[in-house]
Amino acid sequence: LKPNMYNTTPSSLVTIYNETGLSENSTCHQLQLSHKTILLVIYSTILIGGTLGVILMSFCLLKSHSRSTSTIVVINLVATHSVFLVTIPFRISYYVQNQWNYGFFFCKVSSSMVHIHMYLSFLFYVVLLATKYLTFLTIYRKPYVVAASVLIWVVVILIVFPTYFSNYGSSERYAHGRCFQFQRELKRKSVIIINYMASSCMIVVICTLVACQGVILAKVIKTHSGSLSAHLEFGAQKTPLTFLLIMLVCFLPYQLFRIHYVKNIDADCSATLSPYNEILLAFTGGSTLDSLLF
Protein backbone atom coordinates (compact mmCIF):
# COMPACT_ATOMS: atom_id res chain seq x y z
CA LEU A 1 0.00 0.00 0.00
CA LYS A 2 1.22 3.51 -0.77
CA PRO A 3 1.63 5.70 2.32
CA ASN A 4 -0.52 8.79 2.58
CA MET A 5 1.78 11.76 2.10
CA TYR A 6 -0.28 13.82 4.50
CA ASN A 7 -0.33 11.12 7.19
CA THR A 8 3.30 10.09 7.50
CA THR A 9 5.78 9.89 10.33
CA PRO A 10 9.24 11.46 10.12
CA SER A 11 10.79 8.02 9.63
CA SER A 12 8.41 7.17 6.80
CA LEU A 13 9.22 10.48 5.11
CA VAL A 14 12.90 9.51 5.14
CA THR A 15 11.96 6.22 3.51
CA ILE A 16 9.92 7.99 0.85
CA TYR A 17 12.82 10.28 -0.02
CA ASN A 18 15.26 7.38 -0.13
CA GLU A 19 12.94 5.62 -2.58
CA THR A 20 12.56 8.63 -4.84
CA GLY A 21 16.21 9.62 -4.70
CA LEU A 22 15.43 13.16 -3.59
CA SER A 23 15.90 14.50 -0.07
CA GLU A 24 14.09 17.45 1.42
CA ASN A 25 17.41 19.28 1.65
CA SER A 26 18.24 18.67 -1.99
CA THR A 27 19.11 21.80 -3.92
CA CYS A 28 17.89 20.34 -7.19
CA HIS A 29 14.37 21.77 -7.06
CA GLN A 30 14.44 23.99 -3.96
CA LEU A 31 13.79 27.71 -4.38
CA GLN A 32 16.36 30.10 -2.94
CA LEU A 33 15.35 33.25 -1.07
CA SER A 34 16.08 35.41 -4.12
CA HIS A 35 13.80 33.24 -6.28
CA LYS A 36 11.01 33.37 -3.70
CA THR A 37 11.33 37.14 -3.52
CA ILE A 38 10.94 37.45 -7.28
CA LEU A 39 7.94 35.12 -7.22
CA LEU A 40 6.35 37.11 -4.39
CA VAL A 41 6.76 40.35 -6.34
CA ILE A 42 5.30 38.82 -9.52
CA TYR A 43 2.33 37.14 -7.85
CA SER A 44 1.57 40.18 -5.65
CA THR A 45 1.53 42.39 -8.75
CA ILE A 46 -0.71 39.89 -10.53
CA LEU A 47 -3.10 39.70 -7.56
CA ILE A 48 -3.43 43.47 -7.15
CA GLY A 49 -3.40 44.44 -10.82
CA GLY A 50 -5.43 41.46 -11.96
CA THR A 51 -8.12 41.95 -9.31
CA LEU A 52 -8.36 45.65 -10.14
CA GLY A 53 -8.61 44.83 -13.84
CA VAL A 54 -11.31 42.19 -13.32
CA ILE A 55 -13.38 44.57 -11.16
CA LEU A 56 -13.09 47.46 -13.62
CA MET A 57 -13.86 45.26 -16.60
CA SER A 58 -16.84 43.68 -14.81
CA PHE A 59 -18.33 47.15 -14.21
CA CYS A 60 -17.75 48.05 -17.86
CA LEU A 61 -19.44 44.85 -19.01
CA LEU A 62 -22.44 45.47 -16.73
CA LYS A 63 -22.89 48.97 -18.15
CA SER A 64 -22.33 47.91 -21.74
CA HIS A 65 -25.08 46.53 -23.93
CA SER A 66 -22.64 45.48 -26.61
CA ARG A 67 -22.46 41.84 -27.64
CA SER A 68 -19.56 42.21 -30.01
CA THR A 69 -16.80 39.68 -30.56
CA SER A 70 -14.50 41.51 -28.17
CA THR A 71 -17.19 41.61 -25.48
CA ILE A 72 -17.82 37.86 -25.67
CA VAL A 73 -14.11 37.09 -25.44
CA VAL A 74 -13.59 39.56 -22.58
CA ILE A 75 -16.42 37.92 -20.60
CA ASN A 76 -14.64 34.58 -20.97
CA LEU A 77 -11.31 36.13 -20.01
CA VAL A 78 -12.78 37.78 -16.90
CA ALA A 79 -14.16 34.39 -15.79
CA THR A 80 -10.81 32.69 -16.47
CA HIS A 81 -8.79 35.37 -14.67
CA SER A 82 -11.17 35.38 -11.68
CA VAL A 83 -10.79 31.65 -11.04
CA PHE A 84 -7.01 31.90 -11.32
CA LEU A 85 -6.77 34.94 -9.02
CA VAL A 86 -8.59 33.06 -6.25
CA THR A 87 -5.59 30.70 -5.96
CA ILE A 88 -2.92 33.44 -5.85
CA PRO A 89 -3.19 34.31 -2.11
CA PHE A 90 -2.44 30.68 -1.25
CA ARG A 91 0.70 30.77 -3.40
CA ILE A 92 1.82 33.98 -1.74
CA SER A 93 1.19 32.44 1.69
CA TYR A 94 3.29 29.41 0.76
CA TYR A 95 6.27 31.47 -0.41
CA VAL A 96 6.12 33.63 2.74
CA GLN A 97 5.73 30.79 5.25
CA ASN A 98 7.66 28.15 3.30
CA GLN A 99 4.92 25.75 4.33
CA TRP A 100 1.78 24.46 2.58
CA ASN A 101 -1.11 24.08 5.02
CA TYR A 102 -4.07 23.56 2.71
CA GLY A 103 -3.94 19.86 1.81
CA PHE A 104 -2.53 17.97 -1.15
CA PHE A 105 -5.67 18.20 -3.31
CA PHE A 106 -5.78 21.99 -3.13
CA CYS A 107 -2.04 22.02 -3.77
CA LYS A 108 -2.74 20.21 -7.04
CA VAL A 109 -5.57 22.64 -7.83
CA SER A 110 -3.43 25.73 -7.16
CA SER A 111 -0.45 24.30 -9.02
CA SER A 112 -2.45 23.30 -12.08
CA MET A 113 -4.52 26.49 -12.26
CA VAL A 114 -1.56 28.57 -13.42
CA HIS A 115 -1.17 26.20 -16.39
CA ILE A 116 -4.90 25.97 -17.12
CA HIS A 117 -5.23 29.75 -16.87
CA MET A 118 -2.40 30.25 -19.35
CA TYR A 119 -3.82 27.83 -21.92
CA LEU A 120 -7.41 29.06 -21.54
CA SER A 121 -6.33 32.70 -21.88
CA PHE A 122 -4.27 31.75 -24.91
CA LEU A 123 -7.25 29.99 -26.53
CA PHE A 124 -9.53 32.99 -26.01
CA TYR A 125 -6.86 35.32 -27.39
CA VAL A 126 -6.61 33.12 -30.46
CA VAL A 127 -10.41 33.12 -30.87
CA LEU A 128 -10.48 36.91 -30.69
CA LEU A 129 -7.55 37.43 -33.06
CA ALA A 130 -8.87 34.86 -35.53
CA THR A 131 -12.27 36.56 -35.68
CA LYS A 132 -10.64 39.97 -36.05
CA TYR A 133 -8.60 38.70 -38.97
CA LEU A 134 -11.62 36.99 -40.55
CA THR A 135 -13.64 40.19 -40.08
CA PHE A 136 -10.90 42.08 -41.88
CA LEU A 137 -11.26 39.57 -44.72
CA THR A 138 -15.09 39.83 -44.51
CA ILE A 139 -15.56 36.07 -43.98
CA TYR A 140 -16.59 36.05 -40.32
CA ARG A 141 -19.86 35.30 -38.56
CA LYS A 142 -20.47 36.22 -34.92
CA PRO A 143 -22.18 32.92 -33.88
CA TYR A 144 -18.85 31.17 -34.44
CA VAL A 145 -17.36 33.07 -31.48
CA VAL A 146 -20.18 32.05 -29.14
CA ALA A 147 -19.95 28.45 -30.31
CA ALA A 148 -16.17 28.42 -29.88
CA SER A 149 -16.45 29.85 -26.35
CA VAL A 150 -19.04 27.28 -25.29
CA LEU A 151 -17.03 24.45 -26.83
CA ILE A 152 -13.85 25.51 -25.00
CA TRP A 153 -15.57 25.58 -21.59
CA VAL A 154 -17.35 22.26 -22.17
CA VAL A 155 -14.10 20.54 -23.16
CA VAL A 156 -12.18 22.07 -20.25
CA ILE A 157 -14.80 21.26 -17.60
CA LEU A 158 -15.79 17.78 -18.78
CA ILE A 159 -12.48 16.49 -20.16
CA VAL A 160 -9.44 18.59 -19.23
CA PHE A 161 -10.19 19.17 -15.53
CA PRO A 162 -11.00 15.53 -14.63
CA THR A 163 -8.11 14.12 -16.66
CA TYR A 164 -5.63 16.70 -15.42
CA PHE A 165 -6.47 16.39 -11.73
CA SER A 166 -6.63 12.60 -11.75
CA ASN A 167 -3.11 12.33 -13.20
CA TYR A 168 -1.34 15.49 -11.99
CA GLY A 169 1.00 14.67 -9.13
CA SER A 170 -0.13 11.05 -8.94
CA SER A 171 2.97 9.17 -10.10
CA GLU A 172 5.22 10.16 -7.18
CA ARG A 173 4.97 10.71 -3.43
CA TYR A 174 5.63 14.23 -2.25
CA ALA A 175 6.62 15.71 1.09
CA HIS A 176 4.12 16.95 3.62
CA GLY A 177 4.02 20.75 3.74
CA ARG A 178 5.53 21.20 0.28
CA CYS A 179 3.77 22.34 -2.89
CA PHE A 180 4.46 23.40 -6.50
CA GLN A 181 7.31 20.89 -6.78
CA PHE A 182 5.97 18.35 -9.24
CA GLN A 183 9.10 18.24 -11.40
CA ARG A 184 9.41 14.48 -11.03
CA GLU A 185 6.25 14.09 -13.13
CA LEU A 186 8.45 15.06 -16.06
CA LYS A 187 10.15 11.68 -15.88
CA ARG A 188 7.05 10.17 -17.46
CA LYS A 189 7.38 9.83 -21.23
CA SER A 190 3.74 10.73 -21.86
CA VAL A 191 4.12 13.96 -19.86
CA ILE A 192 7.29 14.86 -21.76
CA ILE A 193 5.55 14.35 -25.11
CA ILE A 194 2.53 16.41 -24.05
CA ASN A 195 4.80 19.25 -22.90
CA TYR A 196 6.72 19.25 -26.17
CA MET A 197 3.50 19.25 -28.21
CA ALA A 198 1.81 21.99 -26.16
CA SER A 199 4.84 24.29 -26.24
CA SER A 200 5.49 23.71 -29.94
CA CYS A 201 1.85 24.39 -30.85
CA MET A 202 1.76 27.62 -28.87
CA ILE A 203 5.01 28.85 -30.40
CA VAL A 204 3.83 28.08 -33.93
CA VAL A 205 0.42 29.69 -33.37
CA ILE A 206 1.92 32.84 -31.86
CA CYS A 207 4.39 33.21 -34.74
CA THR A 208 1.56 32.64 -37.24
CA LEU A 209 -0.61 35.29 -35.58
CA VAL A 210 2.28 37.77 -35.61
CA ALA A 211 2.77 37.12 -39.33
CA CYS A 212 -0.96 37.59 -40.00
CA GLN A 213 -0.99 40.83 -38.04
CA GLY A 214 2.03 42.04 -39.97
CA VAL A 215 0.27 41.36 -43.28
CA ILE A 216 -2.86 43.19 -42.11
CA LEU A 217 -0.89 46.22 -40.92
CA ALA A 218 1.00 46.34 -44.20
CA LYS A 219 -2.30 46.23 -46.10
CA VAL A 220 -3.79 48.99 -43.92
CA ILE A 221 -0.74 51.18 -44.46
CA LYS A 222 -0.83 50.60 -48.21
CA THR A 223 -4.57 51.17 -48.54
CA HIS A 224 -5.19 54.04 -46.13
CA SER A 225 -1.87 55.85 -45.93
CA GLY A 226 -2.54 59.59 -45.98
CA SER A 227 -6.33 59.21 -45.99
CA LEU A 228 -8.72 60.64 -43.38
CA SER A 229 -9.76 57.14 -42.31
CA ALA A 230 -6.20 56.04 -41.57
CA HIS A 231 -6.41 56.74 -37.83
CA LEU A 232 -9.66 54.76 -37.61
CA GLU A 233 -8.15 51.76 -39.36
CA PHE A 234 -5.06 51.82 -37.16
CA GLY A 235 -7.25 52.29 -34.07
CA ALA A 236 -9.13 49.13 -34.99
CA GLN A 237 -5.86 47.21 -34.70
CA LYS A 238 -5.29 48.28 -31.07
CA THR A 239 -7.05 45.29 -29.49
CA PRO A 240 -5.37 42.55 -31.56
CA LEU A 241 -1.99 44.24 -31.11
CA THR A 242 -2.54 44.33 -27.33
CA PHE A 243 -3.33 40.62 -27.16
CA LEU A 244 -0.39 39.80 -29.41
CA LEU A 245 1.89 41.83 -27.15
CA ILE A 246 0.65 39.89 -24.10
CA MET A 247 1.31 36.57 -25.83
CA LEU A 248 4.79 37.66 -26.91
CA VAL A 249 5.77 39.01 -23.49
CA CYS A 250 3.97 36.63 -21.10
CA PHE A 251 3.53 33.32 -22.95
CA LEU A 252 6.27 32.96 -25.56
CA PRO A 253 9.32 33.18 -23.22
CA TYR A 254 7.91 30.45 -20.98
CA GLN A 255 7.10 28.12 -23.88
CA LEU A 256 10.54 28.57 -25.44
CA PHE A 257 12.22 27.91 -22.10
CA ARG A 258 9.87 25.00 -21.33
CA ILE A 259 11.23 22.92 -24.21
CA HIS A 260 14.78 23.43 -22.95
CA TYR A 261 13.69 22.77 -19.36
CA VAL A 262 11.90 19.49 -20.09
CA LYS A 263 14.88 18.27 -22.09
CA ASN A 264 17.50 19.17 -19.47
CA ILE A 265 15.68 19.02 -16.13
CA ASP A 266 17.93 16.25 -14.78
CA ALA A 267 21.03 17.01 -16.84
CA ASP A 268 22.83 19.07 -14.18
CA CYS A 269 21.28 19.37 -10.75
CA SER A 270 23.89 21.85 -9.56
CA ALA A 271 22.76 24.32 -12.22
CA THR A 272 19.05 23.73 -11.74
CA LEU A 273 16.55 25.17 -14.18
CA SER A 274 13.52 24.72 -11.92
CA PRO A 275 13.54 28.19 -10.28
CA TYR A 276 13.71 29.89 -13.67
CA ASN A 277 10.90 27.71 -14.95
CA GLU A 278 8.79 28.76 -11.94
CA ILE A 279 9.56 32.45 -12.50
CA LEU A 280 8.68 32.34 -16.20
CA LEU A 281 5.55 30.33 -15.40
CA ALA A 282 4.53 32.98 -12.85
CA PHE A 283 5.10 35.63 -15.51
CA THR A 284 2.39 34.02 -17.67
CA GLY A 285 -0.07 35.22 -15.04
CA GLY A 286 0.67 38.73 -16.24
CA SER A 287 -2.07 38.17 -18.80
CA THR A 288 -4.54 39.01 -16.00
CA LEU A 289 -3.49 42.62 -16.54
CA ASP A 290 -4.88 42.58 -20.08
CA SER A 291 -8.04 44.50 -19.13
CA LEU A 292 -5.86 47.40 -17.95
CA LEU A 293 -4.23 47.64 -21.37
CA PHE A 294 -7.23 48.09 -23.68
Mean pLDDT, the chain, integer: 79
Banded model confidence at residue 154, pLDDT cuts 50, 70, 90: confident
Q: What is the pTM assigned to this prediction?
A: 0.80
Alpha carbons within 13 A on the beta-carbon side of 191: 17
Total residues found in the chain within this entry: 294
pLDDT tens for residues 200-249?
999 999 999 999 888 888 887 777 666 655 566 666 677 788 889 999 99
How far is the C-alpha of 31 from the C-alpha of 276, rounded, in Å?
A: 10
How far is the C-alpha of 233 from the C-alpha of 223, rounded, in Å?
A: 10
Enumerate the domain spans of the chain: 30-292
Cβ–Cβ < 8 Å for 200, 173: no
How far is the C-alpha of 241 from the C-alpha of 223, rounded, in Å?
A: 19
**Most confidently modeled of 1-5, 86-90, 157-161?**
86-90
Cβ–Cβ < 8 Å for 31, 269: no
Topology of domain 30-292 in CATH is Rhopdopsin 7-helix transmembrane proteins (1.20.1070)
Sign for the CA dihedral angle at 263, 269, 270, 273 comes to: positive
Phi-psi category of 100—alpha, beta or left, where left has phi over 0 and alpha has psi -120 to 50? beta
